[in-house]
Amino acid sequence: MGQRISSVGDIVRVHGVERKAQASVIQGDRSLTWGQLYSRSKRLSQALRSAGVAAESRVAFLDKNSIEHFEVFFACSLLNAVSVDVNWRLAAPEVAYIVNDAEARVFIAHNDFRPILDAIAADLHPDSVVVMIGGDAAPVGKLRTVTYEDFLGSGDDVDPGVSAGSEDVAFQLYSSGTTGRPKGVMLTNNNFFALMPLATEMWELSADAMNMIAMPLFHIGGGGWAVAGMYTGCTSVIVRDLDPVAVVKLIPEKKVTHAFLVPAVLQFMLGVPGVDGGDFSSLKVFVYGASPISEDVLARSVKTFKCRFWQAYGLTETTGAVINLAPVDHDPDGPNKHRLRSCGVPGPGVELRVVDNATRKDVAVGEVGEIWLKGPQIMKGYWKMPEATADSIVEGGWFRSGDAGYLDADGYLYIHDRVKDMIVSGGENVYPAEVENVLMSHPAIADVAVIGVPHEKWGETAKAIVVRKPGVEVTEQEIIDFSRERLAKFKCPTSVDWIDALPRNPSGKILKKDLRAPYWAGRERNVN
C-alpha cells in the first residue's frame, strides 16, 4: 500500500485513492466503488461535525446490514468519532438504554425501525438529531429529524483530516451485562490492527477477495470480520437478511471467496435443496465461531463447500478470534479427529492460561479452570464501567473470559462450561441475570432462574425455572409473552419449567449447575 494504514479511518482514506475504481461494497443491486465510499463518507463526516460530533463522540446507528453502515462507520472514523451499532433485535427500552448510555446525540436509523424510534423519542436527549434512512423527515417525537440523503448532502466532499491514536476507541459494541445492564465494549485501533496477522496470513484475506458479510454488523463477528477484509482492500458482499437459500445462491453469483458464519447458519445452508450439487468453486475460506459445531455438520460442510475451514473462539472483549482451529485439524476421518471438539490454539500475539480462580494458579493439563487471555487484542475496557473493567482485566493485563475449559498435552483448548452462566443462542450472548430481572416483575412469579438448555438449531436456548406465587396461576406461554414485550426475542425463554423452591448454597446463590444437569446429561460438554 502506498500509504501506511494506522487507523480504521485510514482504510477508506488509502483505498479511496489507490483503489478508487474498485468495488468496495455490494448489496443486492447497489454497489459503491472505494472512491464513492470515500466521497460519501467524507460528506457524512462533515455533516456529523456540523451536528456537533467531535473526536471520540458516539454516534448511534440502528439498521440491518447495509451499505449505509459502512458510510457511517467510516464517516465517524474520519472524525476519530465512534459509531455505536445497536442490535436491531432489541426491544425499544433496550435500544433507548444503549443510545443514552453512549451519550449519542446523533441517531441514524432505518425507517423500518421507526416504531422503535417513536416509542423511545421521549426518552432520548431533547437535543438529539434523528437521521432517517429510507423514509421521510416526519418528526420522531419532538426531535429534529432529517432524511439520510439530505443530511449527507449537507456536507462538503472534504476529508476532515482528523488523526486517531492507537489507543483511541475505534469500535464500541454492546454486550448484555451480567447484572442486566448492557456493557459498551471499547475496542481501539491497536486492538483491531493486532487482528491483522491472523486475517491476512491465516484467513488469507486480500485485495482480490470477495468477502461475504452475513453476520450482523453489531457483532464483532460481523463488523470486525468486515473491517478486517476492508483493511486489505477487498470487496465486501453484504447480506441484509440472513436467508440460507439466498446465501447459497449468492456464493456462485458473486464468486464469494471468504465468509464468517455461525454453525447454525452452516447447518441451515446444508438443508437448502440442491446444495449438494451447488457450484462453490470460488470459495477459499470459511471461518466459523460464536458457538461450537457438531462433527456431523462440520463433516458435511467440508464435503459440500470444499474449502478451508477455520474455527475461531473469542469474545467481543478480545476483538474476536484469539483461539483458532486450523484447516489441518478439520479432517473428520484423520488421526486428530478428536481435535474437532476443541477450539484450537492461540493466535498471533495471544497468551492463554487456564486458571483455578480460588488460587489464581494455572491448573494441570486436562483439568478444568477459567480461561484467561492476554495480548494486544484485549479491549480498552467497558464504557463508563470502571468496576466491571477492573473485575474483567486483572493483574498483569489478563482478561477473565468467564468460560471454563481445559488444555490437552498439545496445547489445544477445549471449552467445558461457563463460569458466568452466559447462554449462547445462535451466536447471540444471553445473560440470565438480564432475563431474570425482567421475569421477576411478573406478578405471578415469586422466584426464577434462567439457564441454557440444548437446542438442535440454536445450540442452546433460555429456559426459565419458575417458582409461582402462592394461589396464583400462570401459563408457560403467558411468561414467554411477558418477556417478549420487554426483551429481544433471542433473550426470551423458549420454555418454562416449574419448581417449588430453587436450589441454593448456604450464601443464597442459586445452584445453576444443578438446575442445568438434567438437561445436559449424557453430553461431553455442558455448553453447546
Question: pLDDT tens for residues 150-166?
Answer: 999 999 999 999 999 99
Side chain identity, residue 438: V
Cβ 453 vs Cβ 461: under 8 Å: yes
Q: Which residues pair with 147 in a beta bridge?
A: 132
Write down all domains in the chain, each with its CATH number in brackets: 8-164 (3.40.50.980), 191-418 (3.40.50.12780), 425-520 (3.30.300.30)
Residue 458 burial (CB < 10 Å; 0-12/13-18/19+)? buried
Under DSSP, is residue 274 helix (H, G, I), strand (E, B) or coil? coil
Using left for φ > 0, alpha for ψ between -120 and 50, and beta otherwise, residue 233 falls in left
Q: Give the other-Cβ count within 10 Å of 51's Cβ.
A: 20
- Range with top average pLDDT, 168-177, 347-356, 435-444: 347-356
- Report how far residue 501's alpha carbon sits from residue 496's, in angstroms, rounded to the nearest whole number: 15
Closest-CA residue to 352 (of 314, 390, 310): 314
- Report how far residue 15's alpha carbon sits from residue 26's, in angstroms, rounded to the nearest whole number: 16
Give the pLDDT band (50/70/90) at residue 290.
low
pLDDT surpasses 70 at 505: no
Segment 16-20 mean pLDDT: 97
pLDDT surpasses 50 at 56: yes
Give the pLDDT band (50/70/90) at residue 522.
confident
